[in-house]
Amino acid sequence: MKALVYHGPGQKSWDTVDDPKPTEPTDVVVQIDTTTICGTDLHILKGDVPAVEPGRVLGHEAVGTVVETGAAVSALRVGDRVLVPAITSCGRCPYCKRGMPSHCRAVGGIGWIFGHLVDGTQAEYTRVPYAETSVHVVPAGVTDEQVLFLADILPTGFEVGVRNGRVGPGDVVAVVGAGPVGLAAIMTARLSGASRLIAVDPVRSRREHAARFGADDTVSGGDELVELIASGTPDGLGVDVAIEAVGVPETFELCTEVVRPGGVVANIGVHGASATLHLEELWIKNITITTGLVDGTSIPTLLQLATAGKIRSDLFGTHTFALPDMVDAYEVFAHAGEHDALKVVITRQ
Amino acid sequence: MKALVYHGPGQKSWDTVDDPKPTEPTDVVVQIDTTTICGTDLHILKGDVPAVEPGRVLGHEAVGTVVETGAAVSALRVGDRVLVPAITSCGRCPYCKRGMPSHCRAVGGIGWIFGHLVDGTQAEYTRVPYAETSVHVVPAGVTDEQVLFLADILPTGFEVGVRNGRVGPGDVVAVVGAGPVGLAAIMTARLSGASRLIAVDPVRSRREHAARFGADDTVSGGDELVELIASGTPDGLGVDVAIEAVGVPETFELCTEVVRPGGVVANIGVHGASATLHLEELWIKNITITTGLVDGTSIPTLLQLATAGKIRSDLFGTHTFALPDMVDAYEVFAHAGEHDALKVVITRQ
Amino acid sequence: MKALVYHGPGQKSWDTVDDPKPTEPTDVVVQIDTTTICGTDLHILKGDVPAVEPGRVLGHEAVGTVVETGAAVSALRVGDRVLVPAITSCGRCPYCKRGMPSHCRAVGGIGWIFGHLVDGTQAEYTRVPYAETSVHVVPAGVTDEQVLFLADILPTGFEVGVRNGRVGPGDVVAVVGAGPVGLAAIMTARLSGASRLIAVDPVRSRREHAARFGADDTVSGGDELVELIASGTPDGLGVDVAIEAVGVPETFELCTEVVRPGGVVANIGVHGASATLHLEELWIKNITITTGLVDGTSIPTLLQLATAGKIRSDLFGTHTFALPDMVDAYEVFAHAGEHDALKVVITRQ
Amino acid sequence: MKALVYHGPGQKSWDTVDDPKPTEPTDVVVQIDTTTICGTDLHILKGDVPAVEPGRVLGHEAVGTVVETGAAVSALRVGDRVLVPAITSCGRCPYCKRGMPSHCRAVGGIGWIFGHLVDGTQAEYTRVPYAETSVHVVPAGVTDEQVLFLADILPTGFEVGVRNGRVGPGDVVAVVGAGPVGLAAIMTARLSGASRLIAVDPVRSRREHAARFGADDTVSGGDELVELIASGTPDGLGVDVAIEAVGVPETFELCTEVVRPGGVVANIGVHGASATLHLEELWIKNITITTGLVDGTSIPTLLQLATAGKIRSDLFGTHTFALPDMVDAYEVFAHAGEHDALKVVITRQ
């Protein structure tokens, strides 16, 4: 088959590789119908994720069709259309049983293995480990594009941003960073009943996307946010929830500044450096800070919402490619700003 | 002043009575700008609430203006526009401290005292006990009509239906009964992210209101609901949350039938008779049943949402009257079906 | 092998039957080291559980040793000592993923299948379906007796009584019924920080057991409980949590009477008849009623506590038998009152 | 009257000052029967809390007797024995209504005002603002010593450590720092059902106190803790909850290292400097970090537990003084290590 193969920092190509087979009784093989590219894939290509070895097929999000099943698979059948999520769950380790497969012990303590520790989804076929406890059958009547972004980005915004942040009806929420994952937080915070949703991003086109995804206010920088809060929240005390969706110390620290006493800072950003935590001010502030990798436990909920038309996850897909044009898709996604791209949708012809 | 006075079962009139004065240092007197009539007032007039004695001024919902303050009042001032809610809270008893003023010990164990144990709000003025811990200052920029129904009906639907029912994103919710309080549950369940919202009511005009307030499906009876669930929920197992908003045994029992294993039945209805609880079937079903009178603790949240335009509580007000025409307002509200009325809005000229 | 076989109402015997084999790749076969008898087994023998067909091996609780594994089993090995709990969990259906395997869809909607829909644990060997997602490896250093009752009774008292009842530090808790499952609720409510724990049972020896398991007060009947509450709780308002552990309408209704406004009634009892729910009084009382079958999700927690010596689950085992004397063990357990028995422990020689 | 007066950094004396009077209708005056000294008082004396002005009477914990009531006080009477807690609550601001009086808006945004912004409790009498919503009537049958430490230290350990840390049955908990507030966390974590409670402190006498207050393991330093976790928790992954009770960056950072993925770090320590938050490791770890000042909302619960004999808060009081010997009491408390002192109890003769 053909697949997008990583050949070390800066190098990738659309290669012919061996067809995958079930190697464990709990595996299935899925033909990829639709896949996408994640910001993490760009990090891998920069060499920032050393665990990814040359020769690895990239990608960790897909909608596809089951074409082969391992001996122990009884709940999935050949022909089933499934969502293959970023996180693999064995279903039996303490973390999976607790609903936290992001730390699945059976796959090494980090549930993200596709395109990382095993071959991924940017290919014609992929082998899916622990398939029955990991994938989701896609209901009839929804398109691939409507569910594709439930593989990673939408549950990330919802679980790590909105749920960890305990966003509920009436809350004033700031989302710092309006890239795809920030937009996912905005979309699902809106759904959760926020009364005022503020997006912060220095890039104008991103602020426009934020408004389209449901933000009430959009500001270009932290200073504007500080002013907006001073004038626009009760006693100027701060937002109920601040969601960090960038991944640098400055934006994290901004979140701890603008949250009100008793509020929550929910970190989604992938950080490469430590931040300063101003405990000399925060110790008395009764705040909660959360971090996390997505678990995907909300995917059934999000599938229900997407099927009912209550979330428009297809809005993320701004550019479409055929699978053999995967390298072109990378080109556009890597320069998303130039193309005003959010996410690319790559489909089998 | 003038006020609507109860004179025993079936009897009421718009009378001249003494002007209220602060009798405790924590009282204020409020001039009524806007008030309404509740289904409970009709129950009182039928003689169903024997604690209400002849001579009592009725009414427990209002927006008004502070005109006099007791000696201990420091946070409210003459001229403040305030929402007077159905529930009085002393702020210091164990129930008020726990956020459950519906059982405020200082006012006798039931926080509903206006138009019940003390004179109420269907008058030109009313004395408000424990004012600072009970009323809410209304923000500038919202009309009386936008906040009036936050005095009782909207927090009732939200707290006793939606919050007790733990409605969250993606839930399938049935609301049985689409009178005003059922519509309040529908409006706030929509806001909370329900994926599918089913209203059940035998009256066609109520089903139409339900659709206008946000229901996805409307059915006339329990049988239709049972069929809708059998065909329309995963494995036909039932709804995540069933909200009872009628107050008779049949509708309560219907709710316990149509809820899925692990789901919640939230009772809002005011019941006059006991129901049969089929524990021989329910003991194994892992369900939760909740009951409750409104606390009003969600009013700040609802005020925030109303001010931000995220809930349209003014939709409840279908008919408007001047205060001196209070008896006419009762006439219309008592025959709401004939007038296709939901709630009446009664304003000072 | 030998096993205790049900032959229809009133009939059972210790028979020779076929040795079990793995029939699915996710099965294991376990040699039974220690098992027990549950009140449910007595119900089956009375003919109260028609789903149990003649020829069925009874029993749904055991500690044993893995002797054979299906092809898909990788996390369990021959020789592992395991706790076989009452509830089977496929690990992949919506209910198992939500932590509610009591309603596991893969095994028919009720997670209790051992000694019910498939052969059980009162035998020399048993086949364990969905083994990796169902059983728990027993840590070294604890005896079989210390963990045997974590198969069913202790998690039942804890999950369905204490957790559903939201018992926390400081709570006043009434447990109505001091049979084994009531004692399990008492033991785990004590652990959860209850300030006052009241056991209600008409049988004196049971009240003595209740005191030994941690009750502060023991009373013989509901009237005594009502008096104790009137004099001994703040304003005589009632207990924070009432746990029903009998299974008849009278005790359930008692629980709804003695709970304070805002409190919780947690039903554990297995009911054969409906109860009257006095909604005409309860609608305004802000109470929560819960029902449920055990899930077993708390077993890892209880294992941790048993291993650390923080719970003394071995106290339940009052009589010991050898496996071939299973019929004698039934005789004693069926007449527990005469023998002052709580639970019997049956061990392989 | 006589009182302990702060005269600027390093200076205090037992002076004659004016008797306090109610200045607001919601005030009461309390005669101090028993008081204590807090570590915060030592910080003030070092000049670390510039908001405290010379001339201020120190102290924020007491049990006393109401001797005079303001005009609006109806629920408290002269002669009532009351616990005066560290935090003042107006009962009506948004923070007090939400159960977070640590940020009471009516008293300036920080609920701690005694011995800070108004005169405190190390005196013969003290004026108590917002008395009815702040103090707790002490039940008959408990001594002053049994409730005195419910004014601050015990609810601090419980609310900010144990509750924020979500300690529940079965949890493995590390408490870093075994001074008085760490011991309060240990005592209440024990009560909450922790399966293993590890105290970390370099001082041997403190480790001995920790064992007496309920710790299962005591270690002298973080390295020992790291080893204990590596060998003694499942897969060596870390503790469920790490409670910081020192207030320096090193111990905070230690807590973030030793907590397992999915666990909680609850900060109690008062910090004077910022810490480094290793987001490059923590972003993926699904942890929660909480901070906070005590609210005192758990005091009714703790009173219930102390009255029932379920917590032994009197264990904190190691040295006793008469009120006129307040300066001596400071001497002992300031050199607690030399005297093996935990807390001092100072009583009216």
Cβ–Cβ below 8 Å for C195 and D302: no
Q: Among residues of chain A, what percentage have pLDDT more than 70?
A: 100
Residues C62-85: what's their mean pLDDT? 97
Find chain C residues with C-beta within 8 A of D169's C-beta: 158, 188, 191-192, 301, 305
Find chain D residues with C-beta within 8 A of B107's C-beta: none
CA D340 to chain centre: 19
- A324, A301 Cβ separation under 8 angstroms: no
Supply the pLDDT for residue C31.
Answer: 98
Same domain, B147 and B13: yes
Q: Cα(D48)–Cα(D40) distance, rounded to whole angstroms?
A: 9
Q: Cα(D273)–Cα(A282) distance, rounded to whole angstroms?
A: 10
Question: Which among A273, A290, A307 is the end of a domain?
Answer: A290
Total Cβ atoms within 10 A of residue C338:
8
* b/e per residue A305-337 (b: at least 16 CB within 10 A): bbbbebbebbbbbbbebebebbeebbebbbebe
Q: What angle do CA A268, A269, A270 make, to 5 degrees?
A: 120
pLDDT (tens digit per residue) in B248-291: 999 999 999 999 999 999 999 999 999 999 999 999 999 999 99
- Candidates A96, A98, A277, partner chain D, best to mutate (most D CBs within 10 A): A277
The CA radius of gyration of chain C, in Å to the nearest whole number, is 20
Same domain, D122 and D190: no
Mean pLDDT of chain B: 96
Supply the pLDDT for residue D272.
Answer: 94
For the CA atoms of A289, A42, A302, A81, what is the dihedral angle to 10 degrees?
-150
* Orientation angle between helical segments D204-213 and D180-191, nearest 10 degrees: 30
Beta bridge partners of D300: none
Beta bridge partners of A62: A35, A84
Supply the pLDDT for residue D234.
Answer: 83
Q: Cα(D156)–Cα(C292) distance, rounded to whole angstroms?
A: 36
Residues C20-41: what's their mean pLDDT? 97
Q: Cα(B91)–Cα(A24) distance, rounded to whole angstroms?
A: 62
Same domain, B13 and B138: yes
CATH code of residue D43: 3.90.180.10
Cβ–Cβ below 8 Å for A75 and C92: yes
Band (A167; pLDDT cuts 50, 70, 90) = very high
User: Would the pLDDT of C233 be above 90?
Assistant: no
Same domain, C76 and C121: yes
Cβ–Cβ below 8 Å for C286 and B293: yes
Q: What angle do CA A316, A322, A325 make, to 5 degrees?
A: 105
- Candidates C24, C74, C303, partner chain A, best to mutate (most A CBs within 10 A): C74
Supply the pLDDT for residue D349.
Answer: 80
Q: Among residues of chain B, what percentage have pLDDT more than 70?
A: 100
Q: Cα(B286)–Cα(A167) distance, rounded to whole angstroms?
A: 27
Question: Which among C290, C312, C339 is the end of a domain?
Answer: C290
CATH code of residue D269: 3.40.50.720
Q: Cα(A207)–Cα(C337) distance, rounded to whole angstroms?
A: 73
Q: Cα(B106)–Cα(D140) distance, rounded to whole angstroms?
A: 22
Same domain, A53 and A193: no
Band (B232; pLDDT cuts 50, 70, 90) = confident
Q: Dig out the tokens for A320 from the structure.
A: 């479409």
Q: What angle do CA B273, B278, B282 make, to 5 degrees?
A: 130
Supply the pLDDT for residue C349.
Answer: 80
| Among D148, D145, D173, D179, CA closest to D161 | D173
Supply the pLDDT for residue C60.
Answer: 98
Q: Cα(B111)–Cα(B296) distance, rounded to whole angstroms?
A: 10
The pair phi, psi for residue C345, each rounded to 5°, is -115, 125
Number of domains in chain B: 2
Residues C301-321: what's their mean pLDDT? 96
Same domain, B143 and B201: no
Residues A185-196: what's their mean pLDDT? 98
Cβ–Cβ below 8 Å for A169 and B216: no
- Searching chain C, which residue's CA lies closest to the CA of residue B264? C290
Find chain D residues with C-beta within 8 A of C192's C-beta: 168-169, 192-193
pLDDT (tens digit per residue) in C163-183: 999 999 999 999 999 999 999
pLDDT (tens digit per residue) in C264-296: 999 999 999 999 999 999 999 999 999 999 999
Q: Cα(D59)–Cα(D37) distance, rounded to whole angstroms?
A: 6
Q: How far is D208 from chain C (nearest CA, A)?
A: 20
Q: Is B234 helix (H, G, I), strand (E, B) or coil?
A: helix
Q: Cα(A123)–Cα(A3) distance, rounded to whole angstroms?
A: 4
Supply the pLDDT for residue B244.
Answer: 98
Same domain, B240 and B128: no
Mean pLDDT of chain D: 96
What sign for the dihedral angle of Cα C117, C121, C125, C131?
positive
Whole-Å CA distances, D104 to A226, C147, D57, D87, D134? 22, 49, 21, 9, 11
Q: Fill in the amino acid letter for C285.
A: K
Residue in the structure block whose two tokens are 């320096």: D248
Beta bridge partners of A344: A319
Total Cβ atoms within 10 A of residue C204:
10
Supply the pLDDT for residue B144.
Answer: 97
Residue in the structure block whose two tokens are 């067909």: C53
Domain of residue B94, residue span: 2-152+296-347
Cβ–Cβ below 8 Å for B285 and C271: no
The pair phi, psi for residue C204, each rounded to 5°, is -60, -45
Q: How far is A231 from chain B (nearest CA, A)?
A: 14
Total CB pairs under 8 A between chain A and D: 128
Among D26, D75, D96, beta carbon nearest to B72: D26
- Candidates C195, C198, C235, C260, partner chain D, best to mutate (most D CBs within 10 A): C195
Q: Where are the alpha helices (DSSP H) in C98-179?
A: 131-134, 144-148, 153-155
Supply the pLDDT for residue A332.
Answer: 97
Find chain A residues with C-beta within 8 A of D275's C-beta: 276-277, 279
- D258, D280 Cβ separation under 8 angstroms: no
- Candidates D104, D289, D295, partner chain A, best to mutate (most A CBs within 10 A): D289
Cβ burial, residue B282 (10 Å; 0-12/13-18/19+): buried
Cβ–Cβ below 8 Å for B304 and A216: no
Within chain B, how many helices (H) and strands (E) appear? 13, 16
Strands B62-69 and B81-84: antiparallel
Q: Cα(B92)–Cα(D155) distance, rounded to whole angstroms?
A: 19
Supply the pLDDT for residue C214.
Answer: 97
Same domain, C100 and C223: no
* Chains contacting B (3 or more CB pairs within 8 Å): A, C, D
| Among D258, D251, D88, CA closest to D179 | D251
pLDDT (tens digit per residue) in B152-193: 999 999 999 999 999 999 999 999 999 999 999 999 999 999
Q: Cα(C277)–Cα(B297) distance, rounded to whole angstroms?
A: 27
Residues B21-33: what's their mean pLDDT? 97
Residues C235-260: what's their mean pLDDT? 97
- Searching chain C, which residue's CA lies closest to the CA of residue D309? C195
Cβ–Cβ below 8 Å for B71 and D25: yes
Band (C188; pLDDT cuts 50, 70, 90) = very high
Q: Where are the alpha helices (DSSP H) in chain A?
A: 39-46, 94-97, 131-134, 144-148, 153-155, 180-191, 204-213, 222-232, 249-258, 279-282, 299-307, 326-334, 336-339
Q: Fill in the amino acid letter for A131.
A: A
Q: What is the pLDDT along chain D (349 residues), one digit of tens a residue?
A: 999 999 999 999 999 999 999 999 999 999 999 999 999 999 999 999 999 999 999 999 999 999 999 999 999 999 999 999 999 999 999 999 999 999 999 999 999 999 999 999 999 999 999 999 999 999 998 999 999 999 999 999 999 999 999 999 999 999 999 999 999 999 999 999 999 999 999 999 999 999 999 999 999 998 999 999 998 888 899 999 999 999 999 999 999 999 999 999 999 999 999 999 999 999 999 999 999 999 999 999 999 999 999 999 999 999 999 999 999 999 999 999 999 999 999 999 8
Supply the pLDDT for residue A349.
Answer: 80
For the CA atoms of C78, C82, C87, C90, what is the dihedral angle to 10 degrees?
-40
The pair phi, psi for residue A168, each rounded to 5°, is -140, 175
Cβ–Cβ below 8 Å for C276 and B274: yes
Q: Cα(A15)–Cα(C162) distance, rounded to whole angstroms?
A: 58
Mean pLDDT of chain C: 96
Q: Is A41 helix (H, G, I), strand (E, B) or coil?
A: helix
Strands B317-322 and B343-347: parallel
Same domain, C137 and C262: no
- Searching chain B, which residue's CA lies closest to the CA of residue C108? B235
Supply the pLDDT for residue B349.
Answer: 80
Q: What is the 3-state secondary structure (H, E, C) of chain D?
A: CEEEEECCCCCEEEEECCCCCCCCCCCEEEEEEEECCCHHHHHHHHCCCCCCCCCCECCCCEEEEEEEECCCCCCCCCCCEEEECCECCCCCCHHHHCCCHHHCCCCCCCCECECCCECCCCECEEEECCHHHHCEECCCCCCHHHHHCCCCHHHHHHHHHHHCCCCCCCCEEEEECCCHHHHHHHHHHHHCCCCEEEEECCCHHHHHHHHHHCCCEEECCHHHHHHHHHHHCHHHCCEEEEEECCCCHHHHHHHHHHEEEEEEEEECCCCCCCEEECHHHHCCCCCEEECCCCCCCCHHHHHHHHHCCCCCHHHHEEEEEEHHHHHHHHHHHHCHHHHCCCEEEEECC
User: Would the pLDDT of B233 be above 90?
Assistant: no
- Start-to-end CA span in chain C (Å): 14
pLDDT (tens digit per residue) in D73-112: 999 999 999 999 999 999 999 999 999 999 999 999 999 9
Strands B259-267 and B239-244: parallel
Question: Which among D271, D290, D309 is the end of a domain?
Answer: D290
Same domain, D20 and D52: yes
* Orientation angle between helical segments A180-191 and A204-213, nearest 10 degrees: 30
Same domain, B172 and B74: no
Cβ–Cβ below 8 Å for C99 and A97: yes
Residue ranges of chain B whose CB lies within 8 Å of a chain D CB: 24-26, 70-72, 74-75, 90-94, 96-97, 99, 106, 132-133, 297, 300
User: Would the pLDDT of B234 be above 90?
Assistant: no
Residues B106-132: what's their mean pLDDT? 97
- Searching chain A, which residue's CA lies closest to the CA of residue C94? A300
Q: Dig out the tokens for B93 from the structure.
A: 């008893």
Q: Cα(B306)–Cα(B314) distance, rounded to whole angstroms?
A: 9
Whole-Å CA distances, B16 to A37, B30, B67, B108, B324? 75, 17, 19, 28, 11
Cβ–Cβ below 8 Å for A92 and C71: no
Cβ–Cβ below 8 Å for C286 and B100: yes
| Among D153, D163, D99, CA closest to D297 | D99
Same domain, C181 and C264: yes
Cβ–Cβ below 8 Å for A279 and D278: no
Cβ–Cβ below 8 Å for D216 and C308: yes
What would the DSSP string read from start to end of C80-108?
Answer: -EEEE-SB---SSSHHHHTT-GGG-TTTT
